[in-house]
DNA sequence: TTGTAGGCGTTATCAG
DNA sequence: CTGATAACGCCTACAA
């Protein structure tokens, strides 16, 4: 391996001069500098990251941690992160699985963006205590070294539920995410509140009260499939279903497709995330949309601010409702 | 930051003893060892990757380089890589974009798996010459430090074309990938050969000769959309289309959907890759399937062999035909 | 303007 | 079995 020592020898200067020249320091003559650069090129010199890191205590690498690589979901998010980071001279690496957590405490990366259930909040706080900078996208975490960029889950869930209610549905299922999920909990809570807010006053007997049924899901297709089975079994009249993410809605579609019921006719469905697939299923899935690219970009910006000790405040990503054929107005009664 | 020096001081031993203990060397007493371990825990010691790497000249990290993060396509591939690597004590990081290429020559990673058009083959050969170990999934590259694990593109393209021909189509479009793409070229070449092999002898006038039309695509949805426009404009009778990947087939669907023609009735389509989306479009897309997980796993295995200087041979991933509603038998003439 | 030297945190060789 | 000590490749005062 060719090091600055080799360059120094070949160029007939000292290694410090080489280092200065390579780093564009004005302390070295134009002449010697260009000679050194030439020799470096000739020897195919590439600096050793480990040595530089050891000295400078930074790697210019940011890690994005995801629960799994499978999410057809993450492309734009990562793209948004990368664009911002690259512009600032940082590289993005994507990791998954608890084995890779070590990259943070071992200082292979300068900071992390976390959307990853394989991290416990305690673990993250430990890292933050050790001085590592973090941005979390999937939980609330209060620590000076941690910033959060969260979806506006409550607004989204409220929009979704109000849509179903406005369209006339009075029996509404909600299929949740896994137990500990922050996103699931927030969405669920807002959904419940929306139901309560829309419940008719006792005195007013003209309006039918809203029946609310919760089904435990998991944010995977399987969760939607199981929910579909239950819904079909219990079916008596047109119902609405709020799947707390699109993935489960797709699973639900798969099962309903093989039944005698139809999406958007008997079973009306809305999801959350607006993943790519959702626009291709038939009928198109109603859902809650937000800019994944912007989410990633903002997360990166916040992390860089944290790293450079600029002041930061928590950020929120806004969401919008996408109406579609999976939810048709209820027939007049 | 707490280093082995701090541990040594607190435990009242020398730093070399600490190092031995931490690395489980048998050269140190059970007693001192456990004391040292205790102190390390107490101080929350985590080894510094840069220092270790500088000394040992390895990071135990493998990089997977992808053309972009967007591919709804890569999940299983990466999963396959990760499982194998983790089992052997390596971590996987995923990178994209030419800026991240530096991780290889700077020795932040011990090797790379490349499915990334942003690398030129010359660049890869340079790295190989410098001693870096590579596995390529998207090109042929002959170098002792490079192994290739390629799809059996020719078999796949042949299966696809024979399927269309057997179903009776005599006018067949092929929508290619971008100019330089190795996969596209291989598939295209095999498609042409299949046509030729199936062209009736001149003497035999009962069989109609096969008309073959090539459309330049790009492996993106846009390529399929443009192809669809051309095909619709030229439409006179039922035709078959071989999109050299599923992504373009989906783009083609989008345009045909808004026309008066129907997929699987007027325009018959087959893709390549069997991406997740392909099973959800209506009608389901016929395509060429292969195990992405196995592809990734094999690539990792080969790379590890390269790193440990075991002998390796190039590998091939086998493919199968998936028939589906996007290709219906041609009406009898 | 250039060179000398010390140190970043580990590992590993060699004595004791 | 344990302890000095010299690297690994680079950066950066400080000295010349």
pLDDT tens digit string along B201-211?
776 666 689 99
Residues 65-94 of A with CB under 8 A from B: 68-72, 74-76, 78-79, 82, 86, 91-94
Cβ atoms A52, A100 nearer than 8 A: no
Q: Is the CB of B43 under 7 A from strand C?
A: no
- Could you tell me the distance in Å between the CA of residue A51 and the C1' of nucleotide D7? 13
Estimate in Å the CA B92 to C1' C14 gap, whole number: 37
- 261-290 in chain B: CB under 8 A from chain A: 276-277, 280-282
Look at residue A332 and tell me whether its pLDDT is greater than 60: no
How much of chain B is in helix, strand and coil states, percent to nearest 5? 40, 15, 40
Query: Model confidence at A94, in pLDDT bands (50, 70, 90)?
Result: very high
Mean predicted lDDT score pLDDT of chain A: 94
* CB of B54 lies under 7 Å from some atom of strand C: yes
Choose the mutation target among B67, B224, B280 for the interface with A, i.e. most A CBs under 10 Å: B280
Q: How many CB atoms lie within 10 A of CB A196?
A: 10
Give distance CA B13 / C1' C13 (Å). Answer: 19
Closest alpha carbon within chain B to A3: B106
State the pLDDT at residue B204: 65
Average pLDDT on B33-40 reads: 92
What is the pLDDT confidence band of residue A167, given thresholds at 50, 70 and 90?
A: very high
Closest-approach nucleotide to residue B15, Cα vs C1': D3
Residue of B nearest to A81 (CA): B69
CA A91/CA A83 separation, integer angstroms? 9
Model pLDDT, residue B28: 87
Residue A169 scores a pLDDT above 70? yes
Separation in Å, CA B189 to CA A96, A214, A266, B178, B272 = 38, 55, 49, 14, 15
What's the pLDDT score for residue A63?
A: 98
H-run or E-run covering B175: strand B171-175
Q: Give the residue on A whose Cα is nearest the Cα of B70.
A: A75
Confidence at residue B205, expressed as pLDDT on a 0 to 100 scale = 63
pLDDT for position B27: 80
Angle between helices B30-42 and B15-22 (to 10 degrees): 90
Contacts of A232 (CB under 8 A, 6+ apart): A255, A256, A259, A261, A267
Predicted pLDDT at B202: 73
Reduce the DSSP state of residue A287 to 3 states and report it. strand
B window 6-65, beta carbon within 8 A of A: 44, 46-51, 53-54, 59, 61, 63
Contact at CB, B79 and A59, closer than 8 angstroms: no
Q: How far is B198 from chain A (nearest CA, A)?
A: 36
Distance CA B137, CA B114 (A): 6
* CB proximity list for A145: less than 8 A, separation 6 or greater: A128, A129, A131, A132, A133, A134, A306
CATH 3.40.50.2300 fits A153-289, yes or no: yes
The per-residue pLDDT for B73 is 72
CA of A83: which chain B residue's CA is closest? B97
Say yes or no to pLDDT of B333 above 90: no
Beta bridge mates, A91: A61
- H or E stretch covering B270: strand B267-270
| Overall average pLDDT of the A72-81 stretch | 89
pLDDT at B20 over 50: yes
- Residue A268: the pLDDT is 97
Q: How far apart are CA A103 and CA B47, in angstroms?
A: 11
Q: How does residue A329 score in pLDDT terms, banded at 50, 70 and 90?
A: confident
Nearest alpha carbon to residue A95 among A81, A75, A116: A116
SS3 B216: coil
Which nucleotides in chain C lie less than 7 Å from some protein C-beta? 1-5, 7-13
What was the pLDDT predicted at A205?
A: 63
Decide if A135 contacts A306 (C-beta within 8 A). Answer: yes
b/e per residue A90-123 (b: at least 16 CB within 10 A): bbbbbbbbebbbbbbbbbbbbbbbbbbbbbebee
Query: What is residue A333's predicted lDDT score, i.e. its pLDDT?
Result: 41
Q: Do domains A59-151+292-318 and A153-289 have the same CATH topology?
A: yes
Q: Is B108 on the interface with A (CB under 8 A)?
A: yes
Considering only CA atoms, name the residue closest to the C1' of nucleotide D5.
B16
Assess contact for B23 and B55: CB atoms under 8 A.
no
User: Is B59-151+292-318 a domain of CATH 3.40.50.2300?
Assistant: yes
pLDDT digits (tens, 9 = 90+) for B104-146: 999 999 999 999 999 999 999 999 999 999 999 999 999 999 9
Burial class (CB in 10 A: 0-12, 13-18, 19+), B139: buried
Q: Residue with structure tokens 């057997």?
A: B166
Long-range contacts of B117-126 (CB under 8 A, 24+ apart): B117/B67, B117/B178, B117/B180, B117/B181, B118/B65, B118/B67, B119/B65
Instruction: Kindly tell me if the per-residue pLDDT of B332 is higher than 60.
Output: no
User: Average pLDDT over chain B, rounded to whole?
Assistant: 94
SS3 B269: strand
CA atoms within 13 A on the CB side of A33: 11
- Segment B96-104 shows an average pLDDT of 97
- Judged by C1' against the alpha carbon of A52, the nearest nucleotide is D10
Q: How confident is the model at residue A200 (pLDDT cuts 50, 70, 90)?
A: confident
Using an 8 Å CB-CB cutoff, list chain B residues near A93. Answer: 63, 93-95, 100, 103
b/e per residue, A46-78, with b = 16+ CB within 10 A?
A: bbbbbbbbbeeeebbbbbbbbbebbbbbbbbbb
Residues A238-279 have pLDDT tens digits of: 999 999 999 999 999 999 999 999 999 999 999 999 998 899
Number of H helices, E strands in chain A: 11, 12
Question: Strand D: which bases are under 7 Å from protein Cβ?
Answer: 1-5, 7-13
- Cross-chain residue pair B69–A79, CB shorter than 8 Å: yes
Q: Cα separation of A75 and B76, whole Å? A: 14
Q: Which residues of B touch A110 (CB under 8 A)?
A: none
Confidence of residue A207 (pLDDT cuts 50, 70, 90): low
Question: Average pLDDT for residues B40-55, to the nearest whole number?
Answer: 95
Assess contact for A224 and A217: CB atoms under 8 A: yes
- Give me the mean pLDDT over the A186-213 stretch: 88
The gap between B31 CA and D6 C1' (Å) is 28
Q: Do B70 and A47 touch (CB under 8 A)?
A: no
Q: What is the DSSP letter of A277?
A: G
Task: Please give, rounded to a whole number of angstroms, the shortest distance from the CA of A190 to a CA of chain B.
Answer: 31
The CATH code of the domain at B4-47 is 1.10.260.40
Of A191, A24, A250, the C-alpha closest to B277 is A250
Residue-level pLDDT at B300: 98
- pLDDT of A331 > 80? The answer is no
State how far the Cα of A86 lies from the Cα of B258, in Å rounded to an integer.
39
pLDDT tens, position by position, B146-203 = 999 999 999 999 999 999 999 999 999 999 999 999 999 999 999 999 999 998 877 6
The pTM (predicted TM-score) of the whole model is 0.94
| Rounded Cα distance, A212 and B67, in Å | 46
Selection from B73, B68, B117, B63 nearest residue B94 by Cα: B63
Domain positions in chain B: 4-47, 59-151+292-318, 153-289
Percent of chain B with pLDDT over 90: 88
Of A24-28, B90-94, B174-178, B294-298, least confident by mean pLDDT is: A24-28
Retrieve residue A126's tokens: 């430990």
Interface test with A, best of B47, B69, B271 (most A CBs within 10 A): B69
As a whole number of Å, the CA-based R_g of chain B is 27
CB of A53 within 7 Å of some strand D atom: no
Average pLDDT over residues B213-218: 98
């Amino acid at each position: 391996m060719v090091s600055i020592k080799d360059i120094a020898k070949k160029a007939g200067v000292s290694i410090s001069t080489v280092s200065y020249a390579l780093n564009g320091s004005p302390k070295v003559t134009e002449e010697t500098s260009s000679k050194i650069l030439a020799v470096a090129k000739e020897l195919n010199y590439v600096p050793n990251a480990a040595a530089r890191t050891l000295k400078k205590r930074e790697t210019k690498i940011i890690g994005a941690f995801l629960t799994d690589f499978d999410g057809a979901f993450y492309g734009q998010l990562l793209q948004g992160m990368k664009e911002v980071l690259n512009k600032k001279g940082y590289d993005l690496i994507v990791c998954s699985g608890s084995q890779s957590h070590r990259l943070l405490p071992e200082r292979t990366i300068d900071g992390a963006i976390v959307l990853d259930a394989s991290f416990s909040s305690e673990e993250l706080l430990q890292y933050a205590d050790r001085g590592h900078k973090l941005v979390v996208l999937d939980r609330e975490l209060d620590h000076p070294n941690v910033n959060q960029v969260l979806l506006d889950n409550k607004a989204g869930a409220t929009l979704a539920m109000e849509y179903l209610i406005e369209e006339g549905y009075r029996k509404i299922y909600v299929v949740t995410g896994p137990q500990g999920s922050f996103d699931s909990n927030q969405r669920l809570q807002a959904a419940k509140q929306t139901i309560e807010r829309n419940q008719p006053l006792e005195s007013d007997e003209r309006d039918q009260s809203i029946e609310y049924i919760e089904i435990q899901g998991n944010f995977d297709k399987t969760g939607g499939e199981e929910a579909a089975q239950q819904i079909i079994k219990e079916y008596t009249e047109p119902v609405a279903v709020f799947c707390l993410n699109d993935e489960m809605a797709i699973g639900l579609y798969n099962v309903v497709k093989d039944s005698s019921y139809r999406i958007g006719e008997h079973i009306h469905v809305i999801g959350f995330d607006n993943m790519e697939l959702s626009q291709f299923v038939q009928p198109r899935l109603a859902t809650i949309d937000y800019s994944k690219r912007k989410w990633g970009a903002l997360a990166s910006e916040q992390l860089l601010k944290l790293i450079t000790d600029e002041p930061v405040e928590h950020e929120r990503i806004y969401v919008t409702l996408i109406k579609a054929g999976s939810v048709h107005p209820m027939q007049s009664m």
